[in-house]
């Protein structure tokens, strides 16, 4: 049986048959603030702000799993807290890069857990968009040859994948998010930029414009993750 649960203004979820309603709701109520602190810490670490990242992780570690979680799910939450604590220890040692790497791996683990249990969360939609975009960033410093039909097709396929995922996220976004001017500026800006790559940069073989667009898209990508992923 599936149940629709809204944990916060930024969450939309479908609990799969592996969860009973109360356990699924308890998981989402734990996951949402934990993920918010996780991405905030990762964002601060990207700019080498170790002190604020540490504060975010300390808040994350205060999020104890609910007693409503079964043993298997509770162990996932406990393991996630252990990983976050390990990242905090790395920050204390001054290794912000290793701490951020650990947090991003933890985020992927939580994403896979949600996906494997058929829990659809808006945060995960943004995370998947971020993962889908990764092949595009290769071209920021490695200019494609748009006179080569194979390379044009490769870039078009990557662009289509990223655009498709961003459109899905825009559809899934809760009304409160869609009403947010920052969402309109960043998410819709990213969608518009991706369409320009498809309809202008690639067909016109304009590599310079393509590079300028993906540099802008990278900024959008970071903002989207920091706010919503």
Structure tokens belonging to residue 102: 């650990």
How many C-beta atoms surround the C-beta of residue 99 within 10 A?
26
In a shared domain, residues 82 and 134: no
- pLDDT tens for each residue of 26-40: 888 899 999 999 999
Q: What is the 3-state secondary structure (H, E, C) of 171-215?
A: HHCCHHHHCCHHHHHHHHHHHHHHHHHHHHHCCCCCHHHHHHHHH
Q: What are phi and psi of 228, to 5 degrees?
A: -130, -15
pLDDT exceeds 70 at position 13: no
Reduced DSSP (H G I as helix, E B as strand, rest coil) percent helix, strand, coil of the chain, to 5: 75, 5, 25
Q: How much is the pLDDT for 73?
A: 86
Final residue in a domain of this structure, among 116, 134, 163:
116
Structure tokens belonging to residue 13: 């979820």
Question: What average pLDDT does the structure give for the chain?
Answer: 88
The rounded distance, in Å, linking the Cα atoms of 128 and 30 is 20
DSSP result, 66-115: PTTS-HHHHHHHHHHHHHHHHHHHHHHTT-HHHHHHHHHHHHHHHHHHHH
Percent of the chain having pLDDT more than 90?
69
The rounded distance, in Å, linking the Cα atoms of 47 and 53 is 10
Q: Mean per-residue pLDDT for 56-82? A: 88
pLDDT exceeds 50 at position 64: yes
In a shared domain, residues 131 and 95: no
The rounded distance, in Å, linking the Cα atoms of 229 and 212 is 24
Q: Mean per-residue pLDDT for 60-69? A: 85
In a shared domain, residues 152 and 197: yes
In a shared domain, residues 218 and 137: yes
In a shared domain, residues 185 and 215: yes
In a shared domain, residues 43 and 59: yes
Q: How much is the pLDDT for 17?
A: 46
Domain count, the chain: 2
In a shared domain, residues 44 and 143: no
In a shared domain, residues 111 and 151: no
Domain interval for residue 44: 3-116
Final residue in a domain of this structure, among 116, 151, 167:
116
pLDDT exceeds 60 at position 14: no
Final residue in a domain of this structure, among 116, 147, 162:
116
Q: Mean per-residue pLDDT for 139-156? A: 95
In a shared domain, residues 49 and 140: no
Q: Mean per-residue pLDDT for 184-195? A: 94
Handedness of CA 182, 187, 192, 197 (dihedral sign): positive
pLDDT exceeds 60 at position 4: no
In a shared domain, residues 128 and 107: no
What angle separates helix 21-46 from helix 96-116, to the nearest 10 degrees?
A: 150
In a shared domain, residues 19 and 95: yes
- CATH number assigned to the domain comprising residue 89: 1.20.120
Per-residue pLDDT band at 19 (split at 50, 70, 90): low
Per-residue pLDDT band at 52 (split at 50, 70, 90): very high
Handedness of CA 110, 115, 121, 123 (dihedral sign): positive
pLDDT exceeds 70 at position 86: yes
pTM for this model (two decimals): 0.83
> Closest Cα partner for 91 from 55, 120, 39, 128?
55
In a shared domain, residues 40 and 100: yes
Q: How much is the pLDDT for 128?
A: 95
Contacts of 127 (CB under 8 A, 6+ apart): 107, 108, 111, 225, 229
pLDDT exceeds 60 at position 3: no
């Amino acid at each position: 049986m599936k149940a629709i649960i809204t944990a916060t203004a930024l969450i939309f979820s479908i609990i799969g048959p592996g969860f009973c309603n109360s356990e699924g709701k308890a998981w989402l109520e734990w996951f949402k603030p934990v993920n918010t602190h996780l991405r905030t810490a990762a964002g601060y670490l990207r700019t080498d702000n170790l002190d604020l990242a540490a504060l975010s992780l300390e808040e994350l570690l205060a999020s104890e799993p609910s007693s409503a979680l079964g043993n298997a799910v509770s162990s996932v939450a406990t393991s996630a807290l252990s990983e976050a604590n390990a990242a905090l220890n790395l920050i204390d040692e001054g290794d912000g890069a290793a701490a951020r790497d650990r947090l991003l791996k933890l985020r992927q683990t939580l994403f896979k857990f949600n996906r494997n249990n058929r829990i659809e969360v808006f945060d995960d939609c943004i995370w998947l968009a971020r993962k889908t975009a990764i092949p595009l960033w290769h071209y920021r410093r490695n200019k494609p040859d748009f006179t080569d039909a194979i390379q044009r097709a490769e870039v078009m396929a990557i662009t289509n994948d990223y655009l498709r995922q961003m459109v899905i996220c825009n559809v899934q976004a809760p009304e409160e998010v869609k009403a947010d001017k920052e969402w309109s500026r960043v998410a819709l800006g990213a969608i518009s930029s991706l369409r320009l790559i498809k309809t202008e940069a690639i067909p016109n073989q304009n590599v310079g414009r393509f590079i300028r667009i993906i540099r802008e898209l990278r900024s959008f990508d970071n903002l989207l993750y920091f706010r919503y992923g």
